[in-house]
Amino acid sequence: MTEASPLDPQVPFYVAGHRGLVGGAIWRALESRGFSDLIGRSSTELDLRVRSDVFDFFSQTRPRHVVLAAAKVGGILANSAYPVDFLSENLRIQTNVMDAALEFGTERFLFLGSSCIYPKLAPQPIREDSLLTGHLEPTNDAYAIAKIAGILGVQAVRRQYGKPWISAMPTNLYGPGDNFSPTGSHVLPALIRRYDEAKASGVPTVENWGTGSPRREFLHVDDMANACLHLMEHYDGPEQVNVGTGKDATIKEIAELVAEVVGFEGETRWDTSKPDGTPQKLLDVSKLREAGWEAQIGLREGLKSTVAWYREHVGSLREAG
């Protein structure tokens, strides 16, 4: 690991996916730090799958710093049903943005991946060197392969051109701007919605899938944003860096905390006929700590702010969901 250097807050900084969960948090973090030339385009303004449009955009804006947080994402059902879409679209987005960034002089580049890049049966906690040591989870292997290709793309640029490009692999994220739709949300926003709706309607019980025994790690998206900027300034190495808290909890413990935070005082039941999924998925964050960063937002504190955001936006979320 080598030391990088401070980011220049005056030069053009492009956040690809600035309206998404992670990209939005990175945008907020940059604004709070006084970055004065932020560049963002919605997917309707710029389709990153169209190579000529991406090159035209980079030719016009010439960003010196780039965070690639844009991707086609989805849950288990979507990944299982549309593997061609997840592979093809993410490969095109990544290749187009990286090639254009290289062509037009982007100096600092952060590629954001996902912990699903690691083998399904990787030893816990999962170290960075577990990459490519075993079979992937079949339900999202197409998405994972695309993300692995992105990591290799960064490494290739480092080898061939010597640029300080890096990759970061986050654990499960949550926070303001998350997806709370009934069909598309992940476990934590799904729990928040379920318990909050039960409290609002006076339903006495909430039923969750499985036994509640699997262990999961959750990182607040604002912590993720700060970690990304810290890595861009303090880490310069070819290996991807895991970004997480280094701590996990059972789904049952997390559900109890969500119920407490939203004020639900009824009973929680567990449908043990439903699958539990992977018993544990925890990232080893030793490399991140060596780079000088640790998570600051505790799960209870993070849940409170996320529930507040959800309640403020619940009307429009329900219309969209």
pLDDT in tens, 122-172: 999 999 999 999 999 998 899 999 999 999 999 999 999 999 999 999 999
**Annotated binding residue 176:** no
Residue 39 CB neighbours (<10 A): 17
**Annotated binding residue 186:** yes
Q: What 3-state DSSP class applies to 198?
A: helix
Q: Give Cα 32 distance to the centre of its chain.
A: 20
Active site residues: 143
Q: What is the mean pLDDT of residues 80-108?
A: 96
**Annotated binding residue 135:** no
Torsion angle defined by CA atoms of residues 1, 111, 34 and 303, in that order, rounded to the nearest 10 degrees = -100
Question: Average pLDDT of the chain?
Answer: 94
**Annotated binding residue 114:** yes
Tens digit of each residue's pLDDT (9 = 90 or more) over 231-283: 999 999 999 999 999 999 999 999 999 999 999 999 999 999 988 878 899 99
What phi and psi, each to the nearest 5 degrees, are found at residue 258?
-60, -45
**Annotated binding residue 21:** yes
Give the pLDDT band (50/70/90) at residue 80. confident
Assess whether pLDDT exceeds 90 at residue 295: yes
* Residue in 241, 249, 248, 236 with CA at minimum distance from that of residue 224: 241
Would residue 92 be called left, alpha or beta, if left means φ above 0 and alpha means ψ between -120 and 50 degrees? alpha
**Annotated binding residue 170:** yes
The pLDDT, as a whole number, for residue 2 is: 54
Assess whether pLDDT exceeds 80 at residue 286: yes
* Residue in 96, 236, 74, 93 with CA at minimum distance from that of residue 167: 236
The pLDDT, as a whole number, for residue 319 is: 43
The pLDDT, as a whole number, for residue 321 is: 39
pTM (two decimals):
0.93
The pLDDT, as a whole number, for residue 314 is: 87
Domains and CATH numbers, the chain: 13-175+219-245+282-296 (3.40.50.720)
**Annotated binding residue 196:** no
**Annotated binding residue 163:** no
The pLDDT, as a whole number, for residue 320 is: 43
**Annotated binding residue 120:** no
**Quick one: tokens of 199?**
């409290």
Tens digit of each residue's pLDDT (9 = 90 or more) over 55-72: 999 999 999 999 999 999
